[in-house]
């Protein structure tokens, strides 16, 4: 199981995958009565740089800066140093050994999450690339290596969370994207392949779930958040 001391308001990380800082702020204001953790990804960061990050921190919220740093080690080291002391809680990097080492060496008050395998990547993609084994095997290998090299945690789908928690222990932070409400779990038009409900992810061992479109595109985001929080708490299972 995941860390039971995490407040319910921090279990869901709302992904601010919008075009402008004004849109991001409007979404936060709709959600912040129930959620105090937000993700700033590449789309919003390119539109606002650290402006939205600073606004969220000043407002008392936690921030996951999801830029998935991937470059030569020295560049990654310098990039991580730029994030230090900004009040960011999580920053994401790709799970390449030299990149992880450089990021860990430059880490200040950050918690680093290594991306294992994107949730849009499935078994067919593995075969198309000539890779052996399963996606779950690859996720486990990368997560184990990230932990050994000093990462605080990983980003992985909820389908792999149970094995990661069981085999790699409680020290590993597991943050899970690809979260969908139960009614939409089999949507054929979804570009995410390895998806689960919020409750299943947490029950399987994830510490946090990252949720974007199901909340940001909802007519009533609070209703969706409350449904997911009930699912996380086990009230809807």
Instruction: Tell me which residues are annotated as active site.
Output: 68
Per the DSSP assignment, residues forming a β-bridge with 152 are none
Tokens standing for residue 169: 């222990």
């Amino acid at each position: 199981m995941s860390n039971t001391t995490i407040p319910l308001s921090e279990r869901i990380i709302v992904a601010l995958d919008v075009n402008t800082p004004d849109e991001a702020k409007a979404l936060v204001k709709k959600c912040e009565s129930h959620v105090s953790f937000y993700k700033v990804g590449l789309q919003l960061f390119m539109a606002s740089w650290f402006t939205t990050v600073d606004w969220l921190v000043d407002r008392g919220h936690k921030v996951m800066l999801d830029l998935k740093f991937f470059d030569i080690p020295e560049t990654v080291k310098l990039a991580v140093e730029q994030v230090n002391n900004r009040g960011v809680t999580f920053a994401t990097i790709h799970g390449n050994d030299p990149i992880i080492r450089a990021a860990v060496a430059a880490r200040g008050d950050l918690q680093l999450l290594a991306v294992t395998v994107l949730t849009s990547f499935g078994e067919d993609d593995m075969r198309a690339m000539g890779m052996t084994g399963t996606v779950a095997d690859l996720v486990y290998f990368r997560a184990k290596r990230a932990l050994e090299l000093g990462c605080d945690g990983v980003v992985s789908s909820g389908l792999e969370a149970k094995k990661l928690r069981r085999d790699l222990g409680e020290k590993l932070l597991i943050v899970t994207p690809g979260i969908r409400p139960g009614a939409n779990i089999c949507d054929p038009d979804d570009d995410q392949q390895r998806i689960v409900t919020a409750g299943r992810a947490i029950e399987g061992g994830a510490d946090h779930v990252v949720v974007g479109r199901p909340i940001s595109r909802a007519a009533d985001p609070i209703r969706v958040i409350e449904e997911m929080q009930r699912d996380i708490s086990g009230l809807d299972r």
